[in-house]
Structures are given as C-alpha cells and as structure tokens.
Structure 1
C-alpha cells in the first residue's frame, strides 16, 4: 500500500465540508461562517461575527482558552477565486481524492488550514490551555484583504489582543518571515473626443494612457536591472504590472475616456507611495501640459483599488523560532504573494505565514493539496497543542 493511502487526516471530512461551500469572493460567505459558528457553539465556544456593510459577508473571531491573555491567533481567509473559464476535470466544489491528492477549489488556498484548525477544536478543549488559541477567519482576502481590516479595527481596541498570529497560507509548511506589499491603482484618463479625421484637435485618452503604461513598463525594467534586490524573494525585486485596460467607443472617434489598472508588488524596503509619486510626476510634467494645451478640462486621475502592506519579520524573533519548532523547519523563507500578515503586523501583532499546500497550485484549474501536506499541517497543530496546554 502506498504511503499516501495510509494517511488518514482527522481534518479530511472538514476539508470536504468547507470546499463544498463555494465562497467565491464576489458571493456571500455566510453559509460557511454560519456553519463554523454552529460547529464551535456545539463545543461551547462562542464566536463574534464582524459583517461587511451589506451584511452579506462576515469575519469570524473566536477564542479557546483564557480570555485575559494574548495567545496565538490562527488566521485564514474563507473566500476563493472564481473558476470561470478554467478547464476543471472534476467538480471544483467537491473534493475528489486521487493518488494522494485532494482536488477542489480552495484545497490549497486555503481552506485546508482552516479545516485543520477546526478539526483540532476537540483536542484544544480536552485539557485546559495556559495560552489561548484564537481563530480569525475573514472574507474578501482575494480582492485586497478587505474583510480582515474590519476585524483588526475591533481587535486593536480590545484590552487584550493576540500576542502573535500565524497565517495559514500555503507555504508547504515552511515559515515565511517576509512577503512583498502590493499597491493596486486604477488610472482614469479623460480626453477630448472628436472625429478621427480631425484627430489633432482632440485629446486621445487611449494614447495618453498608453504613454503612462509605457512609463510603468520602463519602471519595471529599471527595477529588474537596478533593484534594490533581495535574493530571498522570487523575483528578487519590486515588480510593476499593468493588467487591465479599457477605452474608446469606435475607431472613427478620438476616445474621450480610458482607464487601466496597474500594481506594484514591492519589497518591504520600497515605498509604494514614492513609486506612485514618480508616475504622478511624469503625468504632471510631461503629459498634462500637452493635454491642457488643447483642452484644460482634460486630465488624469488615480484611484486606489487596494493596498496590502508587506511583512518583515526577523529570524531571531521569538515567534519565528516557535513556528520553526512547530513546523520542524530549519530555515525560513520569503514570498512574492501578499497576505493579511502585513496588516496584523501593522496592528502590532507579530505574524508569520505558515500553512499546508503549495502556492503554485493556487488560482489554477484542478487545484489540489497533497495528503502529505495535510498530515504535516496536522502535525504542526499537535505540536502547537503541546505548547499551549497548561
């Protein structure tokens, strides 16, 4: 019998249950949140919900153990990315087990971590805890870590907040001490439309937008060749990327409006406001004078879509040392993707990213997590249990 076939995770049924709830970011997550709240209540654990402004989404926060101590927070997001246009070989919202792998949307990113944490509730309750365990399960992480901000606003005002946080994003159970920050921006270019035969009398919003995109591409090339660099990241430098562009109505009309979305995924040492400031200066000194010479009503406007701070922990931090011991790892890592960890750290809570699964499987069709990774996640939780018991 293969080794994978002998692995019987205690969290397997919980993983199946959570994957079966299609909590795509554009939809509500209340079915999953209600399930978790009822599950915890069945063990006598009360939880607090923090809803969004529509009431259709919610964060969940719960504490196991003493309420007068900081404790360790296990944080994860409940939302998943869409499956639209992806070539899935199985039902993405039903776990399929094959050859030691669990297929399904969210298996890797990151419902398996949440499922493992929940599956261990009975064990956390079996004996008194000297150090409390907190659960922080959020909404809309995939669209800018939106939900957790509301939860952190409340936690920041509490007399006792978590002393440390472990974010269970997929890192193959390797402790991640740093990740890049992300600043996403939408640029609106407003021009002056006219008949294309009289193009010089108009202000072509698409063409001026293209000049800004070209400038951004130049910034990307400069970062790639000049740095700054941190070899712990892959890629080892700040990246600049334009991902979406819309403008114009017809070929024979000089377009009046155009917008495009771009992002900086920056090293912790790079200031995203300075990066955006450089783009603004280019627009103000090079483009606006030319646009205003034709029509002063034209212009360029920048709108923030989202911003996620980077994470920057030290290898000798007590939390880093704890998570290395819990995971059995002998080294730490850095990643290019963003998480809510930077927001926890910004709130004054030391935070590490460490969870089962491989980020290479995230957001792809036929997403999966290896049963061996689930087993490592459960081993991590058992070691944590030993640390927090009285």
Structure 2
C-alpha cells in the first residue's frame, strides 16, 4: 500500500516541534512534483522549518484542502519498547512517533495527491502541511496569512487529526497565559516580614480553581464535549532558589479552553478581578506586590454547523451519517474557518488516545478507511464539486 510506504519514510524524520522539518518537506516535494503539483513553501523566520501548500488540478477555482501538521511531540523520557523514529508493523498496527498524531493522515493525503495527479480534476485538491502545531498552532499562521492575500481561497478544508474516521465539527479555543507574581524577598527565619511569591502564586491558583468551579456550575454547557464546559488549568509553577530564602518571584503557566459560546476574554476578566482582590489584602504592607498576567499564545475554537458543505461532503465520502462529534483537543481548523472563512471539519485515521504516548500506533484498518475516503474525494473532484 502506497500510504504505508510513505508513512514509513515520514516516521524516520524526527520532526519534533521547534526542530527542522525541511528534509521531510523535500521528500514530500519529490513525490508531488512529478504528479504536476504546484508547490509553495512558506518558511519560518530562521528558514529551518516551513509550511507546504501544494495544489493538484486547476488553479483558477476554489478547491478542497487536506490539512495536517508535520511536527510531533518528543519521545525522550518515554518508555518505548522500540525505536520511535522507525516504523514497526505488528498485528495490524503501525508503531512509531506520529503514526496517530498525525503522520498517518499526512501519508494518506500525500498518496491521494500523487494519485490525483493522474486524474483530470475539475476541482483542485490542496495539501497544507504545517510545522509547530503541537506548541499552539504556531507555524500555520504564516500560511494562513499567505492564503488570505490570494484572490481565491479554498472552499473546504478537512483537518486530518485522529478522530477514528468520525466527522468532528468542533473543538474549544485555547488561550495560553503566564502570571508573574511579585512579592518581597527575605530570610526564611524572618518569613512573616517578607511576602512569599510562592504563597501569592498559591492564592492565584486558588483564583483559577474558583473560576473553574464557576464555569462548571453556571457557565455555558455543550454536551457534545466530554467536558461540557469551558476549563481553566494551571500547568507549571516556577519560583524560589533556596529553602532559607523567601522568594520574591513566582511564575505560573495557565490556560483557558473555551466553548464557542463562552468569551475567553470575559473569563480572563473574572480571573484578573479576583486576582486584584487577592492582591489588595497584601498591598498595604507590601506595595510592590503584583500579579501580572500576559498572553503567550492563542488559537480559536471550531464550531462548524452540521449542515455546512464540508460536513455534507464528509458524510458522503466516509459513508458516516451519524451526528458529528466534537473533540477535546485543539486543531488548526479554527484558523482556517475563522481567519479565511473556509468551511472546515475534522476527520482522520487513528485515535488521539494512542497519540503522545510510548509505543504510539495506528491500525492498518484506519489507514485503509482513510485511503477509501480520499479516493472517493478524488472521484468527486474529478466530477467537480
């Protein structure tokens, strides 16, 4: 199967986020160029990474984008039973870093594009491969900007993140933030005369917990999600240098994942207000006390109506007519839809439960189902959407 051959090669490129992906893209371009693809690279600032936008078929009409990312999460520190960057097949499974998330779909999309090059497409097929998706959909933004400047944008976008080949119409948005808590340093023997920034950070985490409780209790609800409300989460806390020094600085990395009907700005406003009230209790004695919150990154959610053209197309080419699901993880789909107005949904092989883990795998049957879907898509594009 051509998809398996391509996947085997893709896994051999250790394209961990922030690491170069140019060798992988060179390999992809070498496959697509003989198929007559138009190829455009949108590079990172340092030139070590790039997005690839490839087009098979006519250039003068809107087409269908198959979107995937080339980066993977690290394998270091995980207990793998085999080389994570060498594909291993066993019992109907393909093992290797990125097999599920999401080089399996990327391999199938490349194979479909190569085959589409032998067809007389009336509607173009586009392939969008990005970098640094795993660290907040960072790389694709320059590709989005480039597409926005074109006279014609694609009409539909299929993001091939692993959904078990179910159609997914939505995911939450995300805002990544950092809170810097400032106290007053001192000797630990005189701790009450200082303001411990770690203690102040703990109060701030309490503020986050209170906002999470409020969202669960009275915030918007969408039962299509495993967690039906917006969420607030503290992931990293840094501070202190020695046990006998009261620290004067503490940093907390936290995030908001918001439903489409919830305003992340309003949630952050609640957090800022509660943090200000917590500070007020300290500032009379310690006027330098502060909790400064800065935004690190964000990407929009996706909330595609069930009747959208891309959902109808996916139902046709997958044969799945069940109600679309919504996924817990974020994707680049919200950027395609919200920034470019492209009808976008998620559908890809494998399951995220297998992603980001040691001995990550994807089943052969999932790849075969994806190949069938993309073959039907090519048939549709030959007829013209």
Does the aligned pair in 1 maintain the 2:188–2:246 contact within 8 Å?
yes
- Residue 120 of structure 1 aligns to a residue in which SS? helix
Q: Shift of residue 237 of structure 1?
A: 1.4
Provide structure 2 residue ranges, at least 5 long, that are not aligned to the other structure. none
2:273 is aligned with 1:248: no
Question: What's the CA shift string for 1:253-306, capped at 9, x where partnerless?
Answer: 11111001111122111111111111111122331x334323433322112222
TM-score normalised by L of structure 2:
0.96
Deviation of residue 327 (structure 1)? 1.2
Say how many residue pairs are matched: 381
Gaps of 5+ in 1: 1-8
Partner of 1:160: 152
Shift of 1:351: 0.5
Task: Confirm whether residue 290 of structure 1 aligns to residue 281 of structure 2.
Answer: yes
Q: How many Å separate the matches in 2 of 1:375 and 1:127?
A: 21
Match of 1:329 among 301, 320, 324: 320
Which residue in 1 is equivalent to 2:202? 210
Q: 2:11 aligns with which of 19, 23, 26?
A: 19
Select which of 8, 19, 36 maps to 1:44. 36
Mapping 1:128-143, distance limit 5 Å: 128-143=120-135
Work out the CA distance in 1 between the residues paired with 2:127 and 2:187.
60
Distance in 2 (CA, whole Å) between partners of 1:180 and 1:249 is 37
Matches of 1:259 and 1:166 in 2, distance apart?
38
Counterpart of 1:173 in structure 2 is 165
| CA–CA distance in structure 1, aligned partners of residues 282 and 297 of structure 2 | 28
Match of 1:126 in 2: 118
User: Which of residues 292, 297, 303 in structure 2 aligns to 1:306?
Assistant: 297
For the Cα contact (< 8 Å) 2:71–2:133, is it kept in 1? yes
Pick the aligned partner of 2:217 from 199, 204, 225. 225
TM-score (norm. length: structure 1):
0.95
Is this contact kept in 2: 1:164–1:349, CA < 8 A?
Answer: yes
Counterpart position of 2:87: 95
For 2:298 and 2:62, locate their aligned partners in 1 and report how far apart those are by CA, in whole Å: 27
2:365 is matched with 372
Q: Confirm or deny: 8 A CA contact 2:211 2:270 kept in the other structure.
A: no
Is the 2:36–2:117 Cα contact (8 Å) retained in structure 1? no
Residue of structure 1 in register with 2:70 after alignment? 78
Residues in 2 aligned to 1:58 and 1:51: alpha-carbon distance in whole angstroms: 4
Q: Deviations over 1:189-220 (max 9, x none)?
A: 12110112222322211111110101111222
- The answer to whether the Cα contact below 8 Å between 2:6 and 2:107 also exists between their aligned partners in 1 is yes
* 2:385 maps to 1:385: no
Q: State the shift of 1:39 in Å.
A: 2.0
In 1, the alpha carbon distance for the partners of 2:180 and 2:153 equals 40
Determine the structure 1 residue equivalent to 2:348: 355
**Cα distance between partner residues in 2 of 1:235 and 1:121:** 36
